[in-house]
Structures are given as C-alpha cells and as structure tokens.
Structure 1
C-alpha cells in the first residue's frame, strides 16, 4: 500500500464504527507531503472520498461478524440480512444438475443474476459456466476484512448486472504473522456436520506487503428422514366433508402422514383394469414377489379414511400416496443439504515502487466438490403378451382381460443404482495491477485480470433407455430367449445383436452382462473464461466555495467465453431424462464511465453540506448492442444530527452466456389442446378469442381447421431448450430516499431509514409450450412467442416447440429498510446493539406483460412483509457474548387462496436465536463456543413450508466450537 494512503486503515475503521459506508471528495494540499489529504473508496462509487457519508445506502459487515456467528461461508451470513434472500445454497441445490452446492446471494429477491458480487471492487469469475452469479464458496473466509452491501442500481458505476445492488467483499491486504483457525459444527440430530480449517500468514516490509491463506471446509450431507419433523410430515388431502361452492368448508385439509410411499415398486406393478374400477378400489393392482410370481399389490393405507367429524366413516380422502408395496418417495430419502468439500488458496501482495506508485497482485484458486441426487430411474415398461418371461398366472390374467400388453411401472434404483450427480469445480483467478498518484490531486488504478472456472460433472445410476426397452422386449426365437427385433407391424423378425434380455418382473438384481448393456454413466466438461482490463483515474477537477468538484473516469474491457463438452451418450440423448449438445459462446463488452461529485453548499442554513452526484456509463456489447446507465444523487446534511440522501438511477442487466448460447437440449411437453383447433375456438370464452381467430387464419390455418395429430398429454410432443441471441438488455429504474439520524442527546445511537423502489422492464423469462397460446392471443403474429414452436407446412400440426428466454417479464419491488445501532459502556464492559429490518411494500411480478398475469407476492413465503435481524454483543476484558435474533413475519402460502380452498394457507412467524461466547485463554489463543438455533425451532408444520431450507432452519440446534491461534 502506498505510504500516502497509510491513513486508509483509520478511515475504514471509522466507517465501520459509524455503521455507514465511507464516501467523500478528495482534495490534496500541495504545500507539503505530510499535509496531503487521505482519500478512501468504498462500495457505490469510484471516487475516493474524505467524509463518511454517501447518497447510496450501504450496510457494512465486519469480518468479526462471521466469527460471531460461527460462520465459515460468507453466504450463510448474507442470507440472514433482511435486504437479501437466498439465491442458491447447499440446502436449495440438492436436485440441481449443474449447480450442486453453489452459494449465491440475491439482493431484494430480484434474482442472483441481478446482484453484482465484487471482490475488492472487481468482478469475480462466475460460479457456474455460462452464468454471471458468483459462487461464494470461492471466497476464503479467513481473508475477509469486511463486506459492503450497496442496495440500489449501481450499473452506472460498476456496469451491467448491478440492478439490485452490489455486494463488495473487501479482503485483507497485509498481515505480519501467522494465524491458524479451526472450527467444527455438530448438529443435535445426526448428519450435517461441518469442519473448517484455515491458515493465514503474511509479512509487512518496507516496500513489500504480502498475505496468503489456505482454507479447507467439509460439509456432510443429511437427509430429510434424519430430521424428526420430517419423519412425521404433513400433507394436503381432498376434504370429503366439502360440499362444493361457498359452503365454508375447505376443499383440502392438512393431515399427518407417517409414511409416504410412491406408486412405483421395486418388483414392478401394473393394473389389469382401471385403477379406480367400480368393482373395488385398486382390486386390479398387481405386483411380483422376488421369484417373479404374480401377486396382488398391497395398497397399504390407500386412500386415508376421514378422521371423523360426524359423517360417513367410510368416506375417503382423495389420495393414494400411501401404497404399502410402494417404495419411499425419493423426496423423503433426498438430501436436505448437499455434501460439499472445498479448498481455497489465495494471496494478495503489494510492492511499493516509491511514494507515488505501487504494484499489486491478487490470486485465488478454489476446488469445490459437491454431490447431489435425483429420483431413481423410473420407467413404464411395455410388457407384451409374447414376452418370454411371462409366467402362466400372468398369462391367464392377461388372456382373461383380453390384454395384449400391460404397462409395468418400476423404480430401478435397486437395479442400476442411485442417480447421483457429482460436480467438481475448479476456479482460477489472478490479477496484476498498479495504483498511485499522477499528480497531487489525481490518482489512478489499473489492472488486468484473468479468471476461469472448469466444471467436471459425472452422472451415475443412468440408464440407456433404448437398450433397456430392447432388453425387456424378450421373446423366444429359434429356441432361445432373445431381444426382439420387430418390423413396423410389431412382428418378430430376428434378434437384436449384442442385447442381453432382462426380466424386470420381480427383479431384485441385474447380472453383470445386463448391467453392461443397460446401465451407464455420463459426463460433461465445461469451462468459462473471463478477461478484464480496467483503468480508473480520479481526483479533484476544480474548487467551488463549498469544496472541490471530484470526478472518476473509467474505461473497461471484458471478454467472457464458455464451452461445454458432453459425453457421446448425453449428446445423442441416449440416457434417461438427460441430453445436451455442446455449447460454444462468447461476448465482449467495452465500457466508458464518468462519475462527478459537486459540493453545492457548506455550513449554510439547514445545510451543513449539500452535494450533488451524477454518473453515466456507456456499454457496447458484441451481442446485444450498445446501452447506457446513469445515476443522479443528492447528499444533504440538514444539521449535524440529520442527513437526507436521494438516489435515482437506471441500470441494466445483460443476458448471460447461458441465456444467449444454450444449445438444443431435448425436453417434452406434457401436452395441451391446440388453441387453433375449431372446437377450442368455438368453446373459448377468452377475451382474446378474436385475436386467436385472426392470428390462426393469418398463420395459414383455415376456419374450421382440425389437427390430424392432436397435441394432447403424455409427453408426446418433443421440444428443445435453447438460448436466444435476439435477447435485449433488461432495464431497471430505481430510486431511494433515505434519512440518517444521529441524535446528539443519546451518545452512540444512530438510526437510518430508506425507502426504495425498483421497476424492471423486459426481464428475461423462459417460455415453452405456453408460447402457443401467448402467440395467437397477441394482437398480431409479430411477437416473440410465435418463434417458440413450429408447424408442419402441409397439415398445420405442431411438430415441436422450443423453450427459450424472452424479454417479456416485468418486476416491481418497493420497500423500506431500517437500521439502528447503539453502543455504550455498561458493567465495566461495552454493549453494542444493531438492528436491521426490511418492510416489503410491493412485490409485483408479471411473467408475460399481460394485465391478467400480474401477481403481487407480498406476504407469501418467499416475500414476507417484515424481515429483521438483531445482533447484541457484550464485551468485557478478553471475553465477549453474542446473541443474534433472526425474524421473519407471518406469511401465507398463496395470496389467491381462501378459506374455501384449504385450511393450511397461514404460515406463522418464525424466529431463531443464535449464541456465541468468545474468550482469549492467552494473548495468542482464542476459544469460541456457540449454539445456533438455540431453541431448536422447527419449520412451520405446513405441507408446503416444512422442508423449505431457504426460508426456515431445517438443520436444527447445533453446537459450534472453534479456536484461533496467532503467532
């Protein structure tokens, strides 16, 4: 660090004590070296400043707060902040194929893709190939000095994606000595253990300062069945007491269910007649024993009986998920937390060339290994009457019922193994920079940065679907059991070469030959490269009566590219439920920005100071073209106690590489009737009926048209998921009005309140089969939805569809932030209390832009009215006691539900308490003992909330023990 900036540490310390971001104008006194004014830079502006106020709301989290919570991943703390919601985490990625174990943050609930995460004010390589969101697993906890959260659009200062705001993680720049840290977390219930170790060291010499760190974390998994509250869950059932209409009786009710078993069984099951035949419930349901003998399927509880409210005791709830011979639902065995192991090596160095200039070096290497899971491979096999493995009893059953085939449902986990997804991610990032002074009034900072993430994904427990179908279609041919080779009419004409026949009926295992033919693994290698070059100069332009006009000018070039290479069986779509083509995409962006701070008044009536700020940024993207972002702000010190700040800005979010370049990946539609068929139009009561008639005819479908091959259910229509290179940038307009009050009559107290509003237009949303209706219901065919499906030129039948991203959605969010801090001395110690809360006024989202698709989500589970966090720290001598309270207001599951719909819409408020005790056993040794979720608060007992780990604590009470030794 330059000697001229030695007071930086003191300035930052003052900012942390004030609980606000440091911001200001820098002016250098040219008389002597010692008189030059020190300037500091924090999130929200690239102008280095002198005073500690900012027009942009900024929350500062010191690195010690991570320690106070026993937290080893920064996202665990960020997700507790009221301004943020959970993006991705090990609790929310248990079924994600390409994102297992990711940790991302989401300011204002606008999406992780609209939150820009910086490290030391610079972009960081994304956490997943083709994305922009940063994986916070790659940030070494031991290197964090503080975190600055600037809420409000900041694209004018930092570029695209800073729509909801910026999370700037400031790392330590130097250290003289070595620090070793270890911690472990042990839940009261089994599973979910975590171990953390770090060693950090550095040196500070005359010209060279250096710090390096090695971090290791291992988080064990735990399943849903490992938690008491999930072992006896609740579920939603149709209410037999409901008479329909507005009878005051809920249509569905909540009921505990000790075991939830799926229809699918390991031995396979089928129906010889309709499952709900009039001659007895499920009386025609069959399965096989381990020897392949036919027997009746044990339906277990079947439909659960009415709990008894004075009506017919034989009435049943309309549910059949409790099948006695069924396997456990995969949801019950699945992870509550993805197992994750990570290693991070990082370093930062500064070499001071002289008093005016310094060189900087930054390096991060991270390796993360995470495993997630999916449901077992499950199939509906067609068993023909000529199958060689059919025994006499089943043959008689089929003949008696005149069946030429049956559909055998089967979960194949015991045959081919769990479908598991293992992903290893390697991140490499390094930057070289220079900083210093051009003159006494002007400074500069420049750097070049390269980052790469590589993802190796391995799928196990996969099945080659056609091979399995071939093996099951076994017949006797020339005196041998072979895999049938059939002609177009279904006649056996030979045997499929290399195929090993397989009998699924009652199968408990598969031979090695069958495994070799049917079971498989799949892989995908992906990489994402990021190159950034940036130059910033900042300083004082000229002097006004109220102070100096300060400015910062930035030029930045960034290139991002991504490629994926799937294995051959994935590329050809040969495996169960998974296919992907290679991706190859690249974007480049050139940016120029200017930021100016103009002091208007100083020491005037009702204006201790008044400063106007503005910023403008020009961006030129290689795919989406040019765009601009801007900011207008006012920082008004009314009195020494009262300050008002206003901020108005336009920000943009650019489509990421995945949005633009995702290659065709196979998918299927669950089907629906074609909106253009004559009887659909005739029976339609839609207000868009006239549009549909006009557009269908304009598309070449004559009046009275009927399809020859109807698009109806069963997953019959093939489609593709793919990117869209015609996307445009999203545009967000936001403003903030805030007040900071620091009363002189209460020493140590400050209070901040900010009103904020975001309006995002052209938000990117993915549309698939629903594009058909949206296309024809529009005013004309000139709309983006019409490009998401294709028709046969001769018949007019829909042949396939595309699921593509489109700039169609609108998002409006409004709310208020409250923050208060109080510090005082008490009982020979110091007491610090900090309260942070957010009140949500509006959360309006519209996926299509049409009036009827508007929804306000305020008050639902993901958008509670109130969220709050209270942190209390009492320190005395060498010890401190930390109590943290997290609160979320009562919500409902769905704002549109009424008492007529169900009796479980209300979700109560939720509060958890965390406690930590820290003490120094000696000057060099610190000991930490804490308990998270002190009262062991379980999630609400609600069928749609009790397993939502992103909103409620599903891990339970847990002990945290840690120690830190410095030498």
Structure 2
C-alpha cells in the first residue's frame, strides 16, 4: 500500500532539488485544471479556484491558496525536501535568496562561547531574532539562551509536508518577532503506511561524512475516525577541521592590514603565526628569550621568520587545531495524531523530542602575564624573587630572606630587573599551554515540545475553530576544557626551592609553592620554560573546566476562529479572530570562575528572566467585486493585534492588503504592515558581560594643559587626566598597555521598549492560463520595503566617547570610567571601562525586488508519463542601511559580502513515475568589503567575484515501493573566495566568509527510500 502522504503531490510537484519561489501546489493544480478542458469557461474557472483552495498557507489566518495571497508567500514541498538530500532543512532554505546569511550554522559557530552547531535562518538579512519560526502555525521555544531564536536542528526534515515562507511584517497575524516574516514548518498528517530512508554522504576530499536514517509510519484507527503517526530520525555530520584542507592548514593574515593599502586585500601573508609559542616567550629588562627547536634557551624571538637576531620562525600555527564545520549529531522523534470525538469536534496532539550534540575544537589556550586577561593583570609580571621566612642558620629563628623560583633559567635570572617597583626581579611571559591540550567544548541540547487541543467546525462548516495548549522546553548542557584557574595559576607561578622539605618527600632541591595555604589546597608549581615542562600535577591544579547550563521554557494557550461570515455578491466575507496567552522564561548558569572573569577569559554573568503576554487579533477579508470586466476580483483585507506585555506594556500591530485581478491571468497585490518586536530576555535582563573592544581611541590622547576646545575642557575635568598631563611634560600620554587594555561591560536594560517596523510590498502574479504555450507558467514580481525604528542595539563605544567629550551628554559620561592614580603615572586617567547598555537607538532599512518564475511541461506520450519543471528565484537589493544610533550616519551594507545586491537560485528537472533528474544553480553577485573597513586604508574598496554553484540529483524507482537516489552538491567544485583573517567578513579558521560561501567543495550523497 502506498503511503497516503508520500506521493500525494508527486505528479504535481516533482521538481529538482531547490526551493520553489511560488506555490507549486497552486501552479500545478491550475495547470491540471487547464489541461482538463479546451476552453476556460466560468464553471471551469470556479472549479480551478476550488482546486487551488485545497492548499492553505501561512499568508493569512483565513484559508486561501498561495497564488491568491495578498502577501508574498513561497512554499517548499515535501517532494523537494526529499530530493534535496539535506541533513538539516537550513541547508535547503538558504538556497533561496530571500534568506540572509545565517546567524548560526555549522560553519560559523566554532569560536562562539554559546550556540555551537545551532542552525538558524533570517529573512532579508534582518537577523534571526526578527524572523518568526512556527511549527504547524504555532510558536516554538528558542534554542539559544535568553533569545527567541529557534534551532532548526529540532525540525524533523523527513516529517515535513511543506514549508511556508511569508515575507514582510506579520506581527498582526502571528505576534512579536515576525518583523521580517514567518517560516512555518508544516508536519505531515493523516499518514498511512511506512516511509523509510537511509543516506550516506562524503566530500570529494574524504571528510565531513554525513549519515542519516529516518522512519515515518502511520495508521488509521479501526473505526476510521482517527489517525496516529510517528517519525524517528538520526543524523550525524562528522565535521571538518582547518588542517584537513590545504588552503586552511597554516595561519595567514590579509596583507592589506599590514600595509594599509587595499590593493593588497585578499593577498595572504603566510605564515602569520601566533606570538604565543608552546615553548614560551619571556620578557626581561634585557630583551626577549625563547627556546629553539633543540630546547636551548636563546635570546630574541621571531614569530614568522628571521629577524635581526637571525632567529627563525618560532610562532604557533593555530590553524592546526581549528574547526571549520562543527560536528553535529541528532536524534529526533516526532508524533502527531487526531481523533474525531464527535461530529464537528476533533482532538489532536503533536509531540517532538530532539537530542542534538555538537562539538568544537580550537587551539590550546594562550596565556600571558600581562594584558587585559593576564595572569597578573595589575602588575603584568611574574616574580622571580620572593621574600620568605625561614631559619637559615639553625638558631630556631626565622629570618626574612629572598627565594628564587628554581624553574627560571639562570640566563634569565642574571639579566632580569625589577619591572613593577617592588624591589625584586621579575619577568613577563606569553605561552601557548599545549600541555593542557586543545580547547574542547561539547554541547548537548534536549528539546521537548508537545501540543494538545481540539478543533472542529460550526454553523454548517462555515467556521473552523481550534483551541490548544503548547509547551516547549530547551535544556542545554555545555562543558569546556582548556582554560585556567587564574588564582591557582598565580599561586603555581610563585614558587621556591623546597630547602626545608616542607612537602615531606625527602627532596630539598625540588620546587614548591610559596604560599602554605595554597600548598594545603594542592598547589603544584608550574614550569613554563620549554615545551612539555608543565607536569600533570600542575595541569590538574591550574586547569579550569567551564560549564554553561541553560533552561528555556515556553507555554502558549491560544484559540482561533475563522470562516465565512456572510456571502457577498463578490464572494464570502472572510473573518478570523483569536486570543493567545504566552509565558516565556529563560535562565543561563555559568561556572563561578567565568562569572568572575577568573578563568583568563571575559567575565560573563548568569542571566534569568521571564515575561508574559496576552494578545488578541482580528482579521477581515472583504471581496468587493468579482467576475466583472476589469475586475475579475477586487478584494481588501486587514488585521489588527493588540498585545499586552508584562515588560513593555501594550503594543498594537496591524496590516492592510489589497488584491486586484483585472483579468483572469493577472493578479496585482499590495500590503502595508506595522510590525513590532518586543525585547527578549537577554536584552532585558542580561547582567554585565565583559568585553575588550578593539579600535578604541582615547579622545584625551595628546590633550595639553590648555586648548582642545570642549574635548580638552572635559578631559582636564578628570583628576587622573590632569595629573597625567602635568607629570608627562604637559601632554596626556598613554603607554601601549593602557591603550590596549580598555575593557567594558555589555549590559541588558529592563526599560527597553519594542522595536517598530513599517513594511510594504507591491507585486503582481501572472498565470497565463489562456495562452497554450505559457499555460504552465507562473510569474511573480514583488517590491518590498522594510523600515525598522527603535532597533535594540547598544551604542558604539566610540559614539559614547564622542557624546560625552564633545557634546557633554551626561548619560554617555556615566558609562565611562577612568583609572585612578594607583600605579605608574602613565596609567593615571587612562580609559578603564566603557560600558554599553542596550537601548532603542538604531534603525534598519532595506528594500528590493523579488522575481520568481515557474514553468512546467507535461509529456503524456511517454511510457510512464513525465514532466519538465523549471523555476528561478531572483532578489535584487536596492538598499540595506544600518544606522547604529541617532546622530550617526547610516552604514550602507547592500552589495557587501553576505548582503549581495543580486542573488538567484534556478533549477530545471525532469520527473516521471520511474525516473527523476534535476539540476539547481545558486548565484551570488560580486560583493565588496565593508566600506567602514575601507575608510581606514588607501585605495579602492576591494571585492570578490560572483559565485555560482551547481547541484544535481537523480533518482530511480524500479517499483512504487522502492527508490534509490544519488546526488552531487557543488558539481563544479568551486572554491570559496579568499576572505582572509583580519578582514571584516572572515570566519576564524576558514579563510573565507564560511557563513556565506560553500567551504566543503564537491560532495556526494546516495540513499535508498522504502515506502509501503
């Protein structure tokens, strides 16, 4: 028996592996109706509209076919999903140009402290938190701590009937977060039988192996009143390391950053090793020391090659340890059922469970004595000598004497000087802690979601209703290895010779920790000098494993009613109303060392919070004219939603639509929407999270005792700045450490308000059914414009400095802290902290045009039938402007890497009952480096050329129950463009924008599918 859902749409929807740009169900239904008769009579046209109405999509709460939707809606069918052979639905969605660069994916999350392996999507490049993700029209709990970002790893790809994509502001229909649009994943229903597949994939280079196995089964109840179905899935993507690919094995750096000339952009300086070597780099008053390859202490250090001392390259190649694509393993279970309790009342349930495991590997920890995250952040040096109390002459009285750290080589002891003013010799260091192993992070995420409810029809089936309860929870447990416990590291570095055998091992020549309390706590001295010098005992004492646990829950109760209120002369008056109550909570808990910034990383707080919202909406669809000359259809509609948040209070969103069909083959449509996004829990409640922002220039640098205008007056008003000026010859002067040691905290803001967006679309849908040669064509053209105000964004720190010192804005000055006179005079008055608080200050605006075309040709004369399908989705971006804060100029980003001005996906395929073959091409136009980057250099802003990738798949079905398929992605084996380390869009370890371009190269997959 053939499963009811597996091939339901195959005859109409068999296409090659790509995302359609319009509803192929509607197009195919129209084509089949047109083929049934020679002429288009009024009766046939009405029948055709009824056929289209079978497929109802996300563009409205009122049932309507996709082509009839006033808002641009695109549909991805289950057949296309099957043919694409993707492990994660994100891979297929991103082929469509309406989706921007993903916020999180396998190829851009390896260097994040959270979110490793998460897969998200965002419409129009407006960021993930402005795209609402639904399952069966209902919300989904977030997968990233303290946000609403849904992890698409929880979507069981083979359980999908289709995916509806609604672009444009949709808050009036679906609530907050739908500023850029909605992605609605529709599960299969009323499935009977068994559908199973097994698939294996590998790249041409023999890496990133991918496995998946899926089983879907369903059955009706004996009385025929109910159905239950379930899906079990497993997938494993093994991942990819930088060292596994030739072009990413060795550290490099973009030469333009070194020369300041943009003509050098894209040219690699290689090697460009890290200056934190595993053998150590040691700084003394007499210069720098290191160890050569033979273990000999030598003076001088050259990171990348010979210098004036003749020392060869002795830096560290980080690329040998970095992750290009994170390994992700998934277990998925989904179930769905319904039972007709009585006439007009149906009970239903949905359930989903996902266990996702991801890992990342990056280079061993780089430790140093000085710097913002140094082991000794105040003095920045390690003591060679320390005062201790011991009986040196046997008279029973302890004398205060100087002890020397026995690990420090004699050559360094001989030339070391007092660098911190305490009268004792010391040294500085920078060292890669290879003995600790690479930094490793593993993450397990458990996702639970279930929905229970009732639905039915009333008033002679004129109205449909439903009421449901939706519960979702995401639990995440993350562990990381390879960091250090700073207080323990400090104690382990403060060592002496064990003259009096204080550790009781009978050896008076070994080293012990000086602090007696630390010794009681297990302190083991650490030897930084040379590779392999750190013992297992010292590693155990200093090592600091990190933890990060999160718990996110979502509860939603909603009720909806929709249907036909009355029959007007032009058609039924459609109406939909509903209410929804939602509670969201999220908490994240880090280990105590991370909370305090004592693991040689940035301090990061725990965060917790919750909110609730009560919402009500109403939608109306009014047909004004129909079946009259030049007005085959004229229809208007609108919706309004009122939401009462416990955080931001009452907000209102609304929309208006108009549809005009002057002739049967042409439909014109337009929408206007006011959308909102309420702040998420992290934006509201996140505590101070430390950062060390680059590129900060102190406005007081160079200010003297007089002059400088308002900036000079405001600088001299700070006591520390004035003292610094007076002690440094009349000019405010900073040393390099102070200039580079500026820190700050990113802070949530419970007083945030909602973002508001105005968007509109104007479009046309052409379906020339009356022209035989074009009867299989559907063409859409839509202009979109989205303008978001009050964007939640912390002001840039440079902007904060300017507002304070140039404009005397007290709110900005309150975010700035300067150092007191506690150390060297050059530190007095230097910037210590510049904090950044989330505010409603920024603006985002984008507009462009979408063009989609679909064409189908049937071949009824073939033995087993057949159809050729061709389609294209094209998006041109007119503008994408980001204004970070009021008073700052807009930053245009259209045409830059990741926001290409032109993108398209095109495909063509032949399909029949027994055999399919299809090709899909994706195109990204020539794209430029960020203009903000280019402003700091000489020469023209550089670009990378256009990119085109081609995929193919073929399938053969010897019987109706069995299919074998084979596919090649990136058939042409195109390499990603060089976008090197040090440039704006580089993803660390990838030498390209790995979130925009394909880094895997040619890859193959094959599988079998059974249905019965």
Residue 299 of structure 1 pairs with residue 302 of structure 2: yes
Q: Deviations over 1:228-282 (max 9, x none)?
A: 3334787432599x8x9xxxx85645544554422121110135579xxxxxxxx
Q: Deviations over 1:613-650 (max 9, x none)?
A: 11111111111111110101101111111111000011
For 2:304 and 2:659, the matched residues in 1 are separated by: 67
Distance 1:678 1:621, change over 3 A: farther
Q: Is the 8 A contact 1:447 1:534 kept in 2?
A: yes
Distance 1:299 1:290, change over 3 A: closer
Q: State the partner residue of 1:751.
A: 779
For 1:374 and 1:776, the matched residues in 2 are separated by: 39
Q: State the partner residue of 2:838.
A: 805
Residue 765 of structure 1 pairs with residue 765 of structure 2: no
Distance 1:589 1:493, change over 3 A: closer
Correspondences of 1:225-236 after superposition (within 5 Å): 225-231=243-249, 235-236=253-254
Q: State the partner residue of 1:453.
A: 474
Q: State the partner residue of 2:181.
A: 165
Residue 728 of structure 1 pairs with residue 753 of structure 2: yes
Q: Is the 8 A contact 1:675 1:772 kept in 2?
A: no
For 1:405 and 1:938, the matched residues in 2 are separated by: 50
Distance 1:865 1:942, change over 3 A: same
For 2:28 and 2:942, the matched residues in 1 are separated by: 39
Residue 821 of structure 1 pairs with residue 862 of structure 2: no
Q: State the partner residue of 2:336.
A: 348
Select which of 8, 17, 25 maps to 2:25: 17
Q: State the partner residue of 2:929.
A: 893
Q: Is the 8 A contact 2:559 2:578 kept in 1?
A: yes
Give the match's secondary structure for 2:24.
helix
Distance 1:483 1:694, change over 3 A: same
Q: Is the 8 A contact 1:670 1:716 kept in 2?
A: no
Q: Is the 8 A contact 2:584 2:612 kept in 1?
A: yes
Q: State the partner residue of 1:223.
A: 241
TM normalised by structure 1 equals: 0.86
Q: Is the 8 A contact 1:632 1:648 kept in 2?
A: yes
For 1:693 and 1:734, the matched residues in 2 are separated by: 45
Give the match's secondary structure for 1:161.
coil
Q: Is the 8 A contact 1:771 1:789 kept in 2?
A: no
| Comparing 712-721 and 818-827, the one that deviates more | 712-721
Q: State the partner residue of 2:728.
A: none
Distance 1:603 1:238, change over 3 A: closer
- Measured after TM superposition, the shift of residue 223 of structure 1 is 1.1
Distance 1:470 1:512, change over 3 A: same
Select which of 378, 394, 410 maps to 2:366: 378
Residue 86 of structure 1 pairs with residue 101 of structure 2: yes
Select which of 851, 873, 878 maps to 2:914: 878
- Measured after TM superposition, the shift of residue 476 of structure 1 is 3.8
- Measured after TM superposition, the shift of residue 923 of structure 1 is 2.0
Q: Is the 8 A contact 1:90 1:338 kept in 2?
A: yes
- Measured after TM superposition, the shift of residue 654 of structure 1 is 1.1
Select which of 527, 530, 542 maps to 1:506: 530
Distance 1:103 1:396, change over 3 A: same
TM normalised by structure 2 equals: 0.82
For 1:620 and 1:445, the matched residues in 2 are separated by: 22
Correspondences of 1:182-201 after superposition (within 5 Å): 182-201=198-217
Aligned-CA RMSD value: 3.6
Correspondences of 1:822-837 after superposition (within 5 Å): 822-826=855-859, 828=862, 829-837=866-874
Distance 1:299 1:630, change over 3 A: same
Q: Deviations over 1:571-597 (max 9, x none)?
A: 343312154333221110111111111
Correspondences of 1:42-57 after superposition (within 5 Å): 42-49=57-64, 52-57=67-72
Give the match's secondary structure for 1:548.
strand
| Comparing 579-588 and 289-298, the one that deviates more | 289-298
Q: Is the 8 A contact 2:654 2:675 kept in 1?
A: yes
Q: State the partner residue of 2:900.
A: 864
- Measured after TM superposition, the shift of residue 672 of structure 1 is 5.1
| Comparing 451-460 and 661-670, the one that deviates more | 661-670
Give the match's secondary structure for 1:553.
strand
For 1:760 and 1:723, the matched residues in 2 are separated by: 20
For 2:598 and 2:324, the matched residues in 1 are separated by: 30
Q: Is the 8 A contact 1:232 1:257 kept in 2?
A: no
Correspondences of 1:145-294 after superposition (within 5 Å): 145-205=161-221, 206-231=224-249, 235-237=253-255, 252=264, 254-257=266-269, 259-271=271-283, 285-288=288-291, 293-294=296-297
Q: State the partner residue of 1:947.
A: 992
Matched residues, number: 902
For 1:44 and 1:502, the matched residues in 2 are separated by: 64
For 1:928 and 1:547, the matched residues in 2 are separated by: 46
Select which of 83, 86, 90 maps to 1:75: 90
Q: Is the 8 A contact 1:19 1:60 kept in 2?
A: no
Select which of 451, 465, 476 maps to 1:444: 465
Distance 1:234 1:515, change over 3 A: closer
| Comparing 550-559 and 49-58, the one that deviates more | 49-58
- Measured after TM superposition, the shift of residue 669 of structure 1 is 5.5
- Measured after TM superposition, the shift of residue 70 of structure 1 is 1.4
Q: Is the 8 A contact 2:923 2:949 kept in 1?
A: yes
Q: Deviations over 1:740-773 (max 9, x none)?
A: 1122321201111100001111111134744641
Distance 1:942 1:683, change over 3 A: farther
Q: State the partner residue of 1:469.
A: 490
Consecutive unaligned residues of structure 2, counting only runs of 5 or more, are: 1-7, 14-21, 31-49, 370-380, 386-404, 501-507, 726-731, 822-827
Q: State the partner residue of 1:395.
A: 413
Consecutive unaligned residues of structure 1, counting only runs of 5 or more, are: 1-7, 23-34, 275-283, 305-315, 487-491
For 1:681 and 1:399, the matched residues in 2 are separated by: 34
For 2:775 and 2:706, the matched residues in 1 are separated by: 74
- Measured after TM superposition, the shift of residue 922 of structure 1 is 2.1
Give the match's secondary structure for 2:625.
strand
Q: Is the 8 A contact 2:896 2:930 kept in 1?
A: yes
Give the match's secondary structure for 2:847.
strand
Q: State the partner residue of 1:311.
A: none
